[in-house]
Structure 1
Amino acid sequence: MSVKTFELISTTENNIELISYVALPDTASNDTPAPGILVAPEWWGVVEHPKSVVERLAEAGYAAVAMDVYGEGKLTTDAAQANMWMEQVLEDQDMLMARCRLILNDFSDQLAVDGNNLAAIGYCFGGKIALDMARDGMPLKAVATFHGNPSPKQPADKNFTAKVLVAHGRDDSMVSMDAIEGLKLELDAADVDYTIDVYDNAKHGFTNPHADERAAKNEVDLGYNEIAAKQSWENMLEFMKANLA
């Protein structure tokens, strides 16, 4: 299936441009809009990996957008820089969620996107963002995270209506199994429907083909695992197929 891509620019109240990246299947149109998936990238910003994710989602029949939560299209391969940007937006999580809501609204306003059939996917830092969007009651039917940070902006409650799929690496030194147990307790308390898949021999960043290169450059404990990446992607597609009409 051929794919159409373009930049989606959302302007915040204080005139910061959020330059997100959209991919649409060529079958999506005003008459037959496609279900929409918002992708929250790793802390690097909208780099090659999230762009390839939204293109692969479009090839699978979904409209998808990689969200520029930092603004101005900022991206990096330097972990110290990425960490600084992440900490800056985490200092004001209401602002971060307002940016996500703005992108969600602008994306779902596209005529080729079915705004009644939305989901979110998050990677690493983006896993927290995707879960927090559901915790904030955004109209998502499904949330999938890959090696995601589960720490909540506020705990899930009755506003959390999305179903959840978590793909976690057993050897992840940045997000512990204890953190995943904490997420289970949180979602159980809010009666959220969730599935947690734990992948053996998988480190933090296991879905990103650039993980080993980034690990070497930045001396951080990341690693790509082709088997876990492929299986978790297939599980996510099945999950989306079951939850998006």
Structure 2
Amino acid sequence: MSIKTFELISTTENGVQLISYVALPESASNDNPVTGILVAPEWWGVVEHPKSVTERLAKAGYAAVAMDVFGEGKLTTDAAMANMWMEQVLADQDMLMARCQLILNDFSDQMGVNGDNVGAIGFCFGGKVVLDMAREGMPLKAVATFHGNLSPKQPADKNFAAKVLVAHGGADSMVTMDAVEGFKKEMEAAGVDYTVDVYDDAKHGFTNPQADKRAADNDADLGYNEAAAKQSWDKMMDFMKANLG
């Protein structure tokens, strides 16, 4: 399927430009709007990995946007820099959620996007972003995370309308199995329909083909796992099809 891509610039009320990356099928139009999927990247920003994810989704018939939550299109391969940017936005999580709401609104308003039928996927830090969007009650029907940070801005409650799929690496040293158990309890208390899949030998970052290089460059416990990446992607696509069509 042929696709088109473009930058989507959302301007916050204090003038920060959020430079997100949109991919959608060439055939998408106002007469033929397609389901939308938001993609929240790892803490590196909108680098190659999230861009390629949006393009894969577009080739599968979805409209997708890689969200620039840091603002100004900031990118890095340096973990210390990424961590600093992440901590800056996490220091004001209301601002972070306002940015997500803004991108969601602007994306939903795009020609060819069905803004009434939207899901989200997040990677690592982006996993927290999309789960928190659902915790805030944003109109997402389905949320999937890959090696996601599961810690909540505030615990899920009745406003959490999305169904959830979590792909977690059994060898992830950054998000512990205790965190996963805590997340399950949170979801159960709120009555959320959720599934957690644990991929035994997968480390943090297991879906990112650049994870081994990032690990070596930053002395970080990351690792690409091709089998887990493929299996979890296929499950996510089935999950989105079941819940978004």
Q: TM-score, normalised by structure 2?
A: 0.99
Task: Identify unmatched segments of 5+ residues in structure 1.
Answer: none
Structure 1 distance, partners of 2:27, 2:238, is 20
Task: Identify unmatched segments of 5+ residues in structure 2.
Answer: none
Q: Secondary structure at the match of 2:217?
A: helix
**2:54 paired with 1:54:** yes
Deviation at 1:26, TM superposition (A): 1.5
Alignment match, 2:114:
114
Deviation at 1:244, TM superposition (A): 0.4
Give the total of aligned pairs.
Answer: 245
Alignment match, 2:211:
211
Structure 1 distance, partners of 2:169, 2:112, is 35
Alignment match, 1:239:
239
Structure 1 distance, partners of 2:155, 2:25, is 35
Alignment match, 2:85:
85
Alignment match, 1:126:
126
Alignment match, 2:40:
40
**2:12 paired with 1:8:** no
Alignment match, 1:201:
201
Taking only aligned residues, the RMSD between alpha carbons, in angstroms, comes to 0.4
**2:223 paired with 1:223:** yes
Deviation at 1:28, TM superposition (A): 1.1
Deviation at 1:200, TM superposition (A): 1.2
Deviation at 1:27, TM superposition (A): 2.2
Alignment match, 2:144:
144
* Structure 1 segments (4+ residues) deviating >2 Å: none
Q: Secondary structure at the match of 2:55?
A: helix
Structure 1 distance, partners of 2:119, 2:137, is 12
Alignment match, 2:29:
29
Q: TM-score, normalised by structure 1?
A: 0.99
Structure 1 distance, partners of 2:129, 2:195, is 18
Q: Secondary structure at the match of 1:164?
A: strand
Give % identity: 80
Counting only pairs closer than 5 Å after superposition, residues 87-106 of structure 1 correspond to structure 2 as 87-106=87-106
Structure 2 distance, partners of 1:206, 1:63, is 24
